[in-house]
Structure 1
Amino acid sequence: MNSFKKIFTLTAVLAFTLVSSLSVFARNFDYIQQGEYAYYLDYRGGNAFYRGYLVFHMDDNTTQVISRAVDLKSKKSMNYVFVLKEEQGGMPSIVNEKGVPGDSPLFSQNVVDFLNFHIMYAQNDTKIGYNTSLNDDWPDYTQVYHYNKLLPMFRFLYISNDKYPMADYRLNRAGVLSAKDYKAFFKMQPAVFKHGKQKAGYSIPDAAEQTVEFGSHSVILDQNWKVSSANGGKVASMGIVSDLDAQFSVKPLSAKGVDLSSQLTKEEMLRTLLLRSADNADFSTLKVSNEDNGLALSIETFDESSKVFNFSYIKLLDDAVVNLTTFDFAYEAQKKYFKKILNSVK
């Protein structure tokens, strides 16, 4: 039996049988942010699909999901919309749809997947940490969800299958779009990440150190860094092999470009910052750490123009955000140097 068809059939049954028993695990879709999108590469059943979701929460308490399915082999794509609502008892139901291809199950699979992924998250959200694997048992195989609670949309990086090792379903691209920019969602292509051999060496000249004030915070930088004003705050930049090798800042939560709501949890604040800067992020490189004075993450992003990976570090203090971005090869070569800077933030 074609494994995709088997997965589709069983998944469809699961979606509408588990939904009816969701009241114990009930939660709405508010864990997905307004305008949040995610694309996944789906290799189940020997197929190759690119499946995307763009979510908007509407004024009538419904959730509108704009969906796109692309067959990467034939290049055929289909776009459609389905609208979800939490009924009494917390059970999600489809209250409206437009363009869902009922006669093309490989393309309409997005709808069933969305419901299943929501159910899996709703049942297990309190169990999910920064590196959590959870089994989803089926009659003759087991799917394993690999979670990190700072990841976009359903919080999983990929789903593996113990019986069908090639049936991989993996997060590929994500971010946030405004309602006026939603058309950009339909133009997105699969991100390709090729981590080649690191460039050899990266040297930073010795230079005198100085304490630099960033509002109510300070950091020790050497004189390789140039400090300038930007958006009402300070930004430190360093250029050795290029005009801009690295950039560092400490900005208040209320600063322009940060603007984080105090109603969010610290983790959701950090996840928000990740979503805003997630374009071309390789989510498999995401690392999260609880440090002395705040929660931090690091991730690698690919610069299409320079064909170089950048290393990004974001740390959430009680009242500010610390950010460092540099070439990945520079960070690897001078990790001790950059960590010394980050550890000096007061």
Structure 2
Amino acid sequence: MVTGAGLEFRLLRGNPEPGNTGECGRRWHAGGTGPLGQARMVRVLQNYVDSVSEDFIPAVRTGTDFVLLNTVALFTGYDVCEGLGVPSAGAFPSPVHPTGDLPPAALGLPSLGRTVNRALDRVALAAGAQSFGRTSRRLRSRLGLPHVRPASLWSRLQAQEWPAFDGFSSAILPRFSDWPPSAQVTGTWWPATPDGWRPDPRLQDFIDDGDPPVYVGLGSRSLPDPDAALSVVRESLRRAGLRGIVQSGWAGLDGGEADDRILTIGEVPHEWLFPHMAALVHHCGAGTTAAGLRAGVPTVGLPVLADQPFWASRLVEVGVSPGAVPLRHLSTDRLADALTAATRDGRYRRRAEELQRIVRAEDGAGRVAEALPSLV
């Protein structure tokens, strides 16, 4: 994907898949968004960042003009950029900046009032920085930087008005008035569909051979019992009188008996697939949520953890979803009812098409590209 866009690729050897699909990852996903789930998330991310950080210094040191740091890379990547004298900015697919309007997106909580929301933001950011303190201290020592408290990172960034780009649409989350001026909501950054990509004839035939189907996928989430989840999906679709396309993904949703009303697929570009769907059922990761908005299709969220309950609630708030079914509470009755509402109540489709026009008019990557020359 990187080289196909005409860019140089530098490998960071960390692989997030084992942490998501292994035993620790399955326990993390089972823990949801509560304190236990957050602790397991930190453990998985800590191991991942430890492995990635070994390649970070040589990747940045050689001919790098500027670095965009995502949420996970922030806590150690900023140390590397500081030590090598390379300017940087944040590139966040979900909201990170503290605000009184909402609690931290990763906690999946409803608003608890401005004072509590901001306090939770500070605690969450400090905890995230502290969790990567071991890696940060090692990197700073190698780079000859003075020791600092990892939890002070966010206050240091704010003091220097460090720039950050928020890669989501104002259609689902407007910019909050108490965010710093250096934070810009740009719109989503879309991956390009690979040149020459064509759908598998089996997929195209399935789509053409009946009413629009429902997409079901959980992205990079893992499941303790994929077969049980697939059985619920199958029966829910049957009760709602719908066909389905199930993306196997890291969840392993690829078993079950043969069924001419359900097709299992591997990776397919969302940009092509989603507009053909009657509704979407997914984990509500930031990218999949945005892709659903761009397609103008109603969604039923199956949030698992981290920021997924937050995005699922935003879809309900803006009127494109009848409600979420948290994966821990997945049942045939709940999913079938939600699917029936999403596909038969025309309000969700009409609202999705309204927001689609806003999302498609945004040029998130273009706004970042326009801003970079003044930051280098």
**Is TM-score (shorter-chain normalized) higher than 0.5?**
no
TM-score w.r.t. structure 2 length?
0.27
TM-score w.r.t. structure 1 length?
0.28
Question: Larger Cα Rg: Structure 1 or Structure 2?
Answer: 1
